[in-house]
Amino acid sequence: MGPFQTVPSRLISQLYCGLKSPAAKGTKICLTMARPSSNMANFREVFAKAKHIVVISGAGISAESGLPTFRGAGGYWRKWKAQDLATPQAFAYNPSRVWEFYHYRREMMQRVEPNPGHLAIAECEARLHKQGRRVMVITQNIDELHRKAGTKNILEIHGSIFKTRCTSCGVVAENHKSPICPALSGKGAPDPETQDATIPVEKLPRCEEAACGGLLRPHVVWFGENLDPSILEEVDRELALCDLCLVVGTSSVVYPAAMFAPQVSARGVPVAEFNMEITPATNTFRFHFQGPCGKILPEALAPHETETVS
């Protein structure tokens, strides 16, 4: 695969969630550019002209609200990494442990609030909508903080922790109960010395559909699972239409999302990365702004002097 080639859009729906590129070993799904610019004034000029903006967000923006990313040093729950628990195999082997992990995360996510980065994106979307311009958020996050901030146009490619799916009948339902079931009350402590609760499977969250009662699982995409083809078709459409792409708080290592922005950049569309550190994709983008999203995004997405409400 040459440096200017991208994965054909028709293949995206066949991709699964993982930490490595689905491309053949030794290939790259990006193009090489000169060192990206950090000139905010130049970015603002591009922003002012954009009619269809796509924002790709990852765990970094939620980390600024106090949520752990489970990446890098200290990225453990008890003695396990997220990728040890967020798999169909882990759930089949020990559903009690996996539900403890997700109960801990649900409780944390219910307590935190959107930060200025989330709010800046939501305000920008609402403001530009009045001007006949579009903002679409494509998020890898399962915490619903973008929704909580007021974002309307959003594709949650990895699902939501506040939805469940029945392993028997397949029904998907919203669920914001705290705790999600009585047996999980007070459970899920992340400390390494904490022992598993070993909750009997019949006491774990169960389907409330008539005559079902099947075991529920979080309606999220686990490592090794296929992403929803219908959502990825929408993603593909948005990426094809956008004339500006923002990459916000993502490490660009989880696929297939790590391919989205390089695909856009490969066809000459400006991409701006906002992150605490450089990533494997940084040098494929036109702009890179290093620092907290909550500090930089409000400035980047503020009303431009040329804006007029239509």
The model's pLDDT over 137-171, given as tens digits with 9 standing for 90+, comes to: 999 999 999 999 999 999 999 999 999 999 999 99
Strands of the chain (E only): list them. 52-57, 76-77, 80-81, 134-139, 154-156, 159-166, 172-174, 216-220, 244-248, 271-275, 287-290
Mean pLDDT of 290-308: 95
Instruction: Of 8-17, 113-122, 219-228, 244-253, give the range with the top mean pLDDT.
Output: 113-122
Closest CA to 146 of 25, 249, 35, 23: 249
Q: Are strands 80-81 and 287-290 parallel, antiparallel or unpaired?
A: unpaired
The pLDDT value recorded for residue 286 is 97
Kindly state the tokens that stand for 17.
């969630």
The pLDDT value recorded for residue 9 is 46
Mean pLDDT of 179-187: 98
Identified catalytic residue from 158, 219, 288, 304: 158
The model's pLDDT over 120-136, given as tens digits with 9 standing for 90+, comes to: 999 999 999 999 999 99
Centre a 10 Å sphere on the Cβ of residue 20 and count the other Cβ atoms it contains.
10
The pLDDT value recorded for residue 15 is 55
Mean pLDDT of 292-303: 98
Q: How confident is the model at residue 307 (pLDDT cuts 50, 70, 90)?
A: confident
Lowest mean pLDDT of 61-65, 79-83, 156-160, 284-288, name the range.
79-83
pLDDT at residue 71 above 80? no
CA distances from 85 to 136, 192, 262 (A): 30, 15, 29
Secondary structure (3-state) at 83: helix
Identify the residue with better confidence: 251 or 28: 251
Query: Is 103 a residue of the active site?
Result: no
Mean pLDDT of 227-246: 96
The pLDDT value recorded for residue 74 is 61
The pLDDT value recorded for residue 72 is 55
The one-letter amino acid at 29: I
The model's pLDDT over 19-60, given as tens digits with 9 standing for 90+, comes to: 555 543 443 444 455 689 999 999 999 999 999 999 999 999
Mean pLDDT of 204-226: 96
Q: Which residues of 75-109 are buried (b: 16+ CB within 10 A; e: fewer)?
A: eebbebebbbbbbeebbeebbbbbbbbbbbbbbbb
The one-letter amino acid at 25: K
The pLDDT value recorded for residue 3 is 31
pLDDT at residue 288 above 70? yes
- Identify the H or E element spanning 110: helix 95-111
Query: What pTM was estimated for this model as a whole?
Result: 0.89
pLDDT, mean over the chain? 90
Mean pLDDT of 63-70: 90
Mean pLDDT of 208-219: 97
pLDDT at residue 90 above 50? yes
pLDDT at residue 285 above 50? yes
Instruction: Of 2-6, 87-91, 226-230, give the range with the top mean pLDDT.
Output: 87-91
